[in-house]
Structure 1
Amino acid sequence: MGVIFVNVSVFFRSQPARWAVAALFFLNGAVLGSWASQIPVMVRQLQITEFTLGMLLVAFGVGALIFMPLSGWLMARYGSRNVTLAFTVAFVFALPCVSLITSLWPAYILLFLFGGVSGGMDVSMNANAAVVEQSYARPIMSSSHGFWSLGGFVGGAAGGTAIETLGFVGHAFAVGVISAALLMVTWRHVIKDPAADFSSKLRFSFPKSPTIYLIGLIALLGMIPEGAIRSWSALYLTDELGADLAFSGWAFAALSATMAIVRFSGDSVRAHFGAVRTLQWSSLTAAVGLLVAGLSGSYWVVMLAFAFVGLGIANIVPIAFSAAGNQAGVPTGVGMSVSATMGYAGTLAAPSLIGLVAERTGFSMIFVAFSLFMMLIFFMANLVRTADFTKS
C-alpha cells in the first residue's frame, strides 16, 4: 500500500496541474460509465417502460444543457478552478443519491440535477485543461479526453460485476467513496486561473465575435457521428446489413477503442503538425470512414470503417475546445461553455432526428451525409489556429 501512495505522489509531482485535470476527466468518465451500468437495474427498480426511460434521459440531457452556460457564467466570476471543484463535489454525491430513487417523479428531478452537475463539471474541467495548456504552452486536451474515455471504460467494465457483488446501492456508494478519495488527492493540484481571466464584477455575456460560434459548430459536427454510431450502428448492422446481434455491438466498440488510442497520442501529433493540419487530416480520415460505412454492403467492412472513423473524430473536439478556450478577448470559461453547449446539444438532438430520417432513407445515406459534415470541418480548419502553442 505504501508503494502505491509513493507512486501516486511521484505521478502528481511531475506535472501536478496536468495530472490533476487528467484525474478529473477520468473521474467524470468513470462515474458516467458506472451510471450506464446501473440503468437496467433502475428500469427494473422503477418498473418503467423504454419510453419513460427515454424521458428520464432527456431530463438528464436538459439539465446538462442548462448548467453548461451557467458554468461559463460562474467561471467568468470565480475562475475554472473554483467552479470545477464545486461541481466535482456535487458530482461525487450524485450517483449515490440517484441510486436511492424509489419513485418516478423524484427520478426526473434527480436525473435533471445529475445531468446538470455533469454538464457543469464537463465545461469547467475542459476550461481548466485550457488554462493548463496556456500555463505549460503545449497541448494536453486530447489526452485529457483520453482519460475520460479510459474512465468510462473502467466504470462501465467494472459496473456489472460490482453491482452483482455489492448490490445496486452498494455499487453507487462505492463509486462515490472512490471518487471522493481521488478528488481529495487531486484537490490542491488543480491549477488556478490567471487573475485577468475572472472578476467578481464580471457578468457573463455571449461573445460578439462569430468565430467562437463557428468553432462551436466544428465541435457539434465532430460530436454528431459519435452519437449516431453509438445510438444506431447496431441497428444498421443487423437490420440493413444482416449481422447477428452478437457482432453488432462491435461497431461502437471499434470506434471507442480507436478514439481512446488516438486521444492519448493526439497532443504530441498536434504539437508536431499544428492544430490546423491535424484537424484537416482528422476530418479527412473521418470522412473516408463514414463514406465507406455508408456505401459498403459488408458488415465486416462497416465495422472496420467505424474504427477508421474513430481515428479521425478523436481529436476534432479536443482541438475545437482548445481553440475556444484560447480566443483573444474571450474569457476561457465563456468560450468553452459556448462551444461545449453547441457541441453537446448536437449529440442530444441528433439521435432522434436520425431515427426520423432513417425511416425514409435508411442509415447508409445518413453516414454518407455525415462524411460531408467532415469535409465542412476540413474547410473550416483555419479557425482553430488559436489551439497552437508551438511551431510545427
Structure 2
Amino acid sequence: MDQSIQNDGQTGRSPAVTRERAAVALMFLMNGFLVGAWAPKIPEFASRLSLSESGLGLMILTFGLGSIIMMPVAGLQIARFGSTWVTRISAVLALPTLLILSLVGSVWTGAVAIFLFGGLIGAMDVAMNANAVATETRMRRSIMSSCHAFWSLGGLFGSVSGGFLIAWLGVVGHGLLITVLAALVVAIGWPMLLADKPHPEEVKERARLPRSALPWLIGMVALFSMIPEGAILDWGALYIRNELGASVQASGLAFGAFSLTMAVMRFAGDLVRDRFGAVRTLRFCTVASIVGLLTAGFASTPLMAIIGFAIAGIGISNMVPIAFSAAGNLPGMAQGIGLSVVTTMGYSGILVAPSAIGFIAEHTGLAAIFIGLPVLHLVVLGLSHLARHADRPAAAGPSAP
C-alpha cells in the first residue's frame, strides 16, 4: 500500500486522486446517505409507534446519545485495530440499522434500534475521519473538506429520493433498497481504504481524557461551528415562514440554499486550504458565516434571509473539516484521542442546540437567535490560530524544510 502512491517530484505531494482517497470519500458518501435516508422515514416511524411530538423528540435525543457514547469507544478501538478496520466494521454493522428501524413495532424496540443507528453512525464518523486524516498525511495534501462534501451529497441523495422511494416501494422496501445500495458502496470502498497501522501502546492513553488543552480548545471550535449549522437545519424554515411570512414552498429553501453552498464550497475547500493555509481559510469562513447569520437575522424579507443562509453555508462549510484535520494531527497525541474529543464536542452542538434554541426563541423570537449566534463565531476567530495543526499533512515529507 505504501508503494502504491507515487509522489510528484516537483511538489513532493501525491496525485490528486488515489484509490485510498476515493475509498474514504465513498465511506463518507455511504454514511451521509444512511442519515439522509432516515429523514423522510421519521413521520412514518412516529406514526407507527404512536409517538407524540415530545416522544419523537426523545427518540431523536436517543439517536444523539448513541452517537456521543459510541464516538469515544471508536477512538479507543482505532488505537487497537487502526482506523481502517474500525471504519469497515462500523460500516457493516450500520448497514442493517435503517432496515431495522423500518420494522420495529414498539417504543422500546424503536429506542434500542435508534440508539444503535446513532451509535454506529457516530462510531463510523470518528473512524472515517481518522482514515481521512491518515490519507491526508500520506498524500501530503488536504482532502478533508471534499470528504465532508461527499457526506453532504450522500445526505442530499438519501433525503431527496426517500419520499419517492417510500411512496413507490413502501417503508420496508425503501429500507431494503437503501441497505443494498449502501452495501454496494461499502463493498467498492472496502479493499481500497488506506491501511493504517494500529497503535496498541496508545490504548491506555486513549482510555483517559486528554490532559492537554489543545483537543478541548479545537473541540470548542467544532462545537461553536456546528451549533449555527444545527440552528439553520432545525429552525431556518420555521423562521422565514412564521416571522417573515414565507410560503410553505419558500420556507424549504432556507436549508436548501444553505446545503447547496455548503456542498459546493466543501469541494473547493481543499484547494483553498492548500493555497492559503488552514488558519486564513478558517478565518475567512468564520467571517463569511458571521455575515450570513447577521444578514438572515436582520432580514426583512424571506429572500434576504435565504441569501443570508446561503452565505452562512459558504462559511460553515469548511470550519468543521479544518477542525477535524487539526484534531487528527495534534503533536505528541494519538490520532484517535483528538478526533474523538472534537467529534463528540462538535456533534453534541447539533444535539443540544435545537432544544436550547427553542426555549430561548419562545422569549426572544428566532431573529434574535440568528443575530446572537455570531458571538459563538467570535470565539472561533479567537482560537483560529490552532488551525495551523491542520496544515501538518501538507508540510510533511521529503519536500518539507
TM-score by length of 1: 0.93
What residue number does 1:89 align with? Answer: 92
The CA deviation string for residues 105-132 of structure 1, in whole angstroms up to 9 with x for no partner, is 1001111111110111111111111111
Aligned 1:128-139 pairs, distance under 5 A? 128-139=131-142
Aligned 1:281-300 pairs, distance under 5 A? 281-300=284-303
What residue number does 1:367 align with? Answer: 370
For the pair 1:145 / 2:154, whether they are aligned, the reply is no
Q: Determine which of 207, 213, 217 is the counterpart of 1:214.
A: 217
For the pair 1:228 / 2:200, whether they are aligned, the reply is no
Deviation at 1:60, TM superposition (A): 0.8
Q: Determine which of 307, 329, 336 is the counterpart of 1:333.
A: 336
Aligned partner letter, 1:379: G
Single out whichever of 182-191 and 316-325 deviates more from structure 2: 182-191
Q: Determine which of 55, 58, 61 is the counterpart of 1:55.
A: 58
What residue number does 1:252 align with? Answer: 255
Counterpart-to-counterpart distance in 2, 1:319 and 1:200: 26
For the pair 1:271 / 2:274, whether they are aligned, the reply is yes
| SS, match of residue 167 in structure 1 | helix
Counterpart-to-counterpart distance in 2, 1:78 and 1:201: 14
Counterpart-to-counterpart distance in 1, 2:337 and 2:204: 15
Aligned partner letter, 1:71: A
For the pair 1:126 / 2:121, whether they are aligned, the reply is no
For the pair 1:162 / 2:150, whether they are aligned, the reply is no
What residue number does 1:357 align with? Answer: 360
Aligned partner letter, 2:256: A
Q: Retained in 1: the 8 A contact 2:71–2:122?
A: yes
Aligned partner letter, 2:39: A
Provide closer, same or farther for how the CA distance between residues 201 and 336 of structure 1 changes in structure 2, counting only shifts above 3 A.
closer
| SS, match of residue 271 in structure 1 | helix
Deviation at 1:194, TM superposition (A): 3.8
Deviation at 1:196, TM superposition (A): 5.0
Deviation at 1:375, TM superposition (A): 2.2
Deviation at 1:36, TM superposition (A): 1.0
What residue number does 1:3 align with? Answer: none
Counterpart-to-counterpart distance in 2, 1:178 and 1:244: 35
Deviation at 1:258, TM superposition (A): 0.3
Counterpart-to-counterpart distance in 2, 1:197 and 1:63: 25
Aligned partner letter, 1:339: V
Aligned residues: 380
Single out whichever of 338-347 and 236-245 deviates more from structure 2: 236-245
Counterpart-to-counterpart distance in 2, 1:304 and 1:197: 49
Counterpart-to-counterpart distance in 2, 1:306 and 1:338: 28
Counterpart-to-counterpart distance in 2, 1:40 and 1:86: 30
The CA deviation string for residues 204-249 of structure 1, in whole angstroms up to 9 with x for no partner, is 2222110111000000011011100111112211222222222111
Aligned partner letter, 1:104: V
The CA deviation string for residues 180-223 of structure 1, in whole angstroms up to 9 with x for no partner, is 12211111111122455866676522221101110000000110
The CA deviation string for residues 340-377 of structure 1, in whole angstroms up to 9 with x for no partner, is 00001111001111111111111122112111222221
CA RMSD, 1 decimal: 1.7
Aligned partner letter, 2:212: S
For the pair 1:67 / 2:70, whether they are aligned, the reply is yes
Contiguous gaps of at least 5 residues in structure 1:
1-12
Counterpart-to-counterpart distance in 2, 1:264 and 1:114: 27
Q: Retained in 2: the 8 A contact 1:276–1:384?
A: yes
For the pair 1:177 / 2:180, whether they are aligned, the reply is yes
What residue number does 1:6 align with? Answer: none
What residue number does 1:26 align with? Answer: 29
| SS, match of residue 373 in structure 2 | helix
What residue number does 1:346 align with? Answer: 349
Aligned partner letter, 2:262: M
Counterpart-to-counterpart distance in 1, 2:74 and 2:198: 18
Provide closer, same or farther for how the CA distance between residues 186 and 358 of structure 1 changes in structure 2, counting only shifts above 3 A.
same
Deviation at 1:64, TM superposition (A): 0.7
Counterpart-to-counterpart distance in 2, 1:200 and 1:308: 42
The CA deviation string for residues 14-46 of structure 1, in whole angstroms up to 9 with x for no partner, is 501101000000000111111112112212222
Aligned partner letter, 2:80: R
Deviation at 1:390, TM superposition (A): 3.6
What residue number does 1:5 align with? Answer: none
Aligned partner letter, 1:261: V
Q: Retained in 2: the 8 A contact 1:198–1:331?
A: no
Counterpart-to-counterpart distance in 2, 1:122 and 1:382: 25
